[in-house]
Amino acid sequence: MADANGAFRFSEEPPGVDERIRRFRLQDEVDTFAIRSRRLLVVVDTMSTPADARQLRSALEPDLDGRTLVVVDTHADYDHAWGNQVFADVPILGHAVCGARLHGAAAYEDLERWKAEMPGRFDEVEPTAPSILFGEAGLVLDGGDLTIELITTPGHTEDHTSLYVPELDLLLAGDAAEVPFPHVSSGAGLVRARASLQRLMTLGARYVLPCHGGTTDPAVLDRNVAWIDAVMADPDLPYEQALERFGDGRDEVLEMYRDFHADACRAARELERAPGG
């Protein structure tokens, strides 16, 4: 299934993962997931635009079959929540900070910036905040046969949430983990990102599926922590060396990860300059 640019496609099931999990891919931009339980169909993020979200929702129709449709926003970044308006008729769950980010002047400022950078793509977008908000304690959804735990994992952003399904030994990490490494833009964020990764590691999930990177390997959590530790120890760590040590050996990595690494190094230097750093 694809739009005119061939951007939207999906694999029915990530390799080796339970058939109740589906992964939908928006080219190299983002992966979105659906969890099919006995009572609920939980959609994890709504992609980048209403056009993307409409195709996503259409692809989900066969899995509804009497289930209640629920959306969870892992966070408010454009590629995760700018399709929300297409799901405004169903419950959308998100952290309280996610709600704040998608409500009010700041959301429209972000939208205008992206419209300028990518003319035409975001013209339809109306920032749509979650209708059900939760705090630092997270939330638990009872799907009947599956439990979906919403775990607050700040670092990449302050509003970030990951999802854990204990019955499947499965973690949907959102952008808390990423291949080869997540984006963190401040010293405080770097510290929080590391703590969130450590919290996720304690779950001992057999499968870890981030929204970027296409992996199911739980080792991504260990590699991301090791990368943060290396950057904090040496804020001048060369990108190529970081990629060799903490990537997963892929031949091709998107160029944006060079910027991710540079931002993390700046964040580490910020920590060094902080009182007591």
Query: Is the pLDDT reported for residue 162 higher than 80?
Result: yes
Residue 192 CA to residue 198 CA, distance in Å, equals: 10
pTM of the model: 0.94
Query: Is the pLDDT reported for residue 30 higher than 60?
Result: yes
User: Is-contact 208 217, C-beta < 8 A?
Assistant: yes
Q: Looking at residues 246-267, what average pLDDT do you find?
A: 93
Query: Is the pLDDT reported for residue 75 higher than 80?
Result: yes
Query: Is the pLDDT reported for residue 123 higher than 90?
Result: yes
User: Is-contact 180 93, C-beta < 8 A?
Assistant: no
Q: Looking at residues 140-158, what average pLDDT do you find?
A: 98
pLDDT number for residue 7: 64
For residue 63, give the amino acid letter: D
pLDDT number for residue 5: 45
Q: Looking at residues 98-115, what average pLDDT do you find?
A: 92
Alpha-carbon 99 to chain mean position: 16
Residues contacting residue 236 through CB under 8 Å, at least 6 positions apart: 265
Q: Looking at residues 170-195, what average pLDDT do you find?
A: 97
User: Is-contact 46 40, C-beta < 8 A?
Assistant: no
Question: May I ask the CATH architecture of the domain 1-168?
Answer: 4-Layer Sandwich (3.60)
How far is CA 187 from each of CA 155, 169, 234, 250, rounded to the nearest angstrom? Answer: 10, 32, 14, 28
pLDDT number for residue 2: 38
Annotated domain spans of the chain: 1-168, 176-277
Q: How confident is the model at residue 276 (pLDDT cuts 50, 70, 90)?
A: low
pLDDT number for residue 11: 64
pLDDT number for residue 3: 43
Q: Which helix (H) or strand (E) holds 277?
A: none
Q: Looking at residues 93-108, what average pLDDT do you find?
A: 93
Q: Give the mean pLDDT of the chain.
A: 93
Query: Is the pLDDT reported for residue 87 higher than 90?
Result: yes
pLDDT number for residue 1: 37
